Amino acid sequence: MAIRTTAPGRPRDPEVDRRIARAALDTFGELGWAGFAMEVVARRAGVGKASLYLRWSSKEALLTDALTTGLVRMNDVDTGTVRGDLVELATQMLDLYAGPSRGAAMRLALEAGSIPGIAENYAAMRTSQIQAARAIVRRGITRGELPAGTPVTLLLDTLIGGAMMHALSSPAFDTATYAGQLVDFLLGSPSHPFE
């Protein structure tokens, strides 16, 4: 007796999955939750609506999956120096808000709390990101690279706010270069409050 090792039907095409995820992010970024519909995403991805429903049971499930796979995540990194860690954090922020999914990232920040099924995932993601960012600064304090009294929230608000504002208001730029300049200004300015 032969044992069947694959599911019946055609295997899923990863290229179609990528097109659908991209179309979902673009649709959400441009139209928000009110304009987000399976029909619109299917048309934009160049697939039939049935293809979406074979993969996702609802538009909430589709958007959750697209956001999970398509948005840049801020992670706790340990490069060995607080400067390196903060540059990486700033780069992640710049990539998120200046990258191809910038519209979806902005919409998510504005609308996540009112979207069923998305609010919980977004809250958990934000908590994880905040903890990762705070860990970077605390590690810098522990290593003696930052003074013991460094205001963690103020430092991160300044860094992340600066990165986000630059991403939203500037034309094309090199994210790694700008991230380094931003961190150097923040840490190296003679008048900054963290020395």
Distances (CA, A) of 59 to 18, 54, 125, 127: 16, 12, 20, 24
Kindly tell me the burial class for residue 128, based on how many C-beta atoms sit within 10 Å of its own C-beta (0-12, 13-18, 19 or more). Answer: middle
Q: What is the pLDDT of residue 190?
A: 46
Of how many residues is the chain composed?
Answer: 195
pTM of the model as a whole? 0.79
Assess contact for 89 and 176: CB atoms under 8 A. Answer: no
Q: What is the pLDDT of residue 5?
A: 40
CA separation for the pair 182, 139 (Å, rounded): 19
Q: What is the pLDDT of residue 189?
A: 56
* Cα end-to-end distance, the chain, whole Å: 74
* Residue from 132, 66, 70, 124 nearest 99 by CA: 70
**Domains delineated in the chain:** 14-69 (1.10.10.60), 72-188 (1.10.357.10)
pLDDT in tens, the chain (195 residues): 444 344 444 556 778 889 999 999 999 999 999 999 999 999 999 999 998 998 899 999 999 999 888 887 777 789 999 999 999 999 998 988 888 888 998 898 889 888 888 888 888 888 888 898 999 999 999 999 999 999 999 999 999 999 989 988 887 888 889 999 999 999 985 444 444
DSSP secondary structure string, 95-125? HHHHSTTHHHHHHHHHHGGGSTTHHHHHHHH
CA separation for the pair 69, 5 (Å, rounded): 27
CA separation for the pair 178, 54 (Å, rounded): 43
- Scanning the structure block, which residue is given the tokens 């979902």? 24
Q: What is the pLDDT of residue 31?
A: 96
CA separation for the pair 22, 184 (Å, rounded): 35
